[in-house]
């Protein structure tokens, strides 16, 4: 019965072209391949409507009692409140009043959460609490070494390319950070903390994980922090963004790119 409801609820395939390496594939071919792995990362630019359309399509296509939705957009301490909302015990208004939703939640992420709610599927609030990320950005990992939330948390910092890309991005937006009392190296450590906590949040789960593309492009970020190799990545190119074949296992273009 659940399967029937999912099939009837599928959003139409959004426009665009799907590349897998040098090949062009159909949406059905991509979904069939994604369904064969435990973890599917879908990377977005957070303000990209086109990406959100594809995320909803991919989630609806893969959702099941065994496969859950994970969101960077909610922090781990919100999980009990999110579970209460999914169970129908509080209203959406009550949920949003206490869950620190992103500004574009109602338009871009609520459709995925509501689909899970309507069909009895789970949703994981995956991200680290922002206060901890801010502490690390100011003072490095030492700033949170006494926090029980991170006891036993393993953080892999060995991906040199990821670090170089992150620091280059920080350098490129340096003018926007003028006056912020943080060192780029500590900002990178805060990024690693987010990745590690998000990886821990999906331990032993089959999942569709919605995240910023920097957290999964080039199989870096969150993938660096997971032990399983049973994952695939999807990225939706932002408008005008350059394509590289190794960005993700599947890269989705707008029709005119």
Q: Give per-residue pLDDT as tens, 190-236.
A: 999 999 999 999 999 999 999 999 999 999 999 999 988 899 999 99
The two tokens of residue 95 are 């949920």
Please give the CATH topology (third level) of the domain spanning 17-243: Rossmann fold (3.40.50)
d(CA 171, CA 249): 28
Q: Where are the domains of the chain?
A: 17-243
Give the C-alpha distances (Å, rounded to integers) separating 123 from 71, 144, 227: 8, 27, 21
- Residue % of the chain over a pLDDT of 90: 82
Is pTM, for the whole model, over 0.85? yes
Query: Listing from the earlier edge strand, what are the strands of the sheet with 206-212?
Result: 23-25, 17-20, 250-253, 231-236, 39-44, 206-212, 67-75, 123-127
C-alpha to C-alpha distance for 182 and 145, rounded to whole angstroms = 18
* The pLDDT of residue 8: 44
Mean pLDDT of 115-127: 98
Residue of 236, 162, 161 whose CA lies nearest to 194: 162
**Contact present, 127 and 198 (Cβ < 8 Å):** yes
Burial class (CB in 10 A: 0-12, 13-18, 19+), 92: middle
Residue-wise pLDDT for 135-179, tens only, equals 999 999 999 999 999 999 999 999 999 999 999 988 877 655 445
CA-CA distances (angstroms) from residue 102 to 46, 87, 176, 205? Answer: 10, 21, 20, 24
Instruction: Please state at what angle helix 160-172 crosses helix 184-201, rounded to 10 degrees.
Output: 130
* β-sheet bridge partners, residue 211: 43
Nearest to residue 222, comparing CAs of 101, 109, 52, 72?
72
The tens digit of pLDDT for each residue in 41-90 reads 999 999 999 999 999 999 999 999 999 999 999 999 999 999 999 999 99
Distance of alpha carbon 92 from alpha carbon 39, whole angstroms: 28
């Amino acid at each position: 019965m659940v399967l029937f409801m999912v099939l009837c609820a599928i959003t139409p395939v959004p426009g665009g072209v799907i590349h897998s390496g040098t090949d062009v594939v159909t949406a059905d071919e991509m979904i069939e391949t994604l369904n064969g792995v435990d973890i599917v990362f879908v990377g977005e630019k957070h303000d990209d409507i086109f990406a959100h359309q594809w995320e909803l399509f991919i989630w609806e296509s893969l959702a099941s009692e065994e496969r859950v939705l994970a969101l960077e957009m909610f922090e781990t301490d919100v999980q009990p409140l999110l579970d209460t909302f999914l169970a129908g015990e509080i209203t959406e208004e009550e949920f949003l009043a206490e869950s620190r939703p992103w500004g574009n939640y109602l338009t871009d992420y609520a459709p995925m959460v509501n689909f899970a709610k309507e069909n009895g599927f789970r949703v994981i609030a995956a991200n680290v609490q922002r206060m901890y990320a801010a502490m690390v950005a100011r003072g490095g990992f030492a700033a949170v070494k006494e926090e029980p939330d991170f006891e036993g948390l393993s953080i892999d910092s060995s991906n040199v390319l990821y670090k170089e890309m992150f620091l280059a991005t920080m350098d490129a937006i340096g003018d926007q950070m003028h006056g912020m009392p943080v060192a780029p190296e500590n900002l990178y450590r805060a990024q690693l903390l987010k990745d590690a906590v998000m990886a821990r949040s999906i331990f032993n789960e089959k999942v569709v994980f919605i995240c910023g593309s920097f957290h999964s492009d080039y199989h870096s970020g969150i993938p660096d922090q997971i032990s399983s190799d049973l994952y695939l990545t999807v990225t939706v190119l932002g408008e005008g963004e350059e394509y590289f074949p190794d960005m993700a296992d599947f890269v989705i273009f707008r029709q005119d790119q």
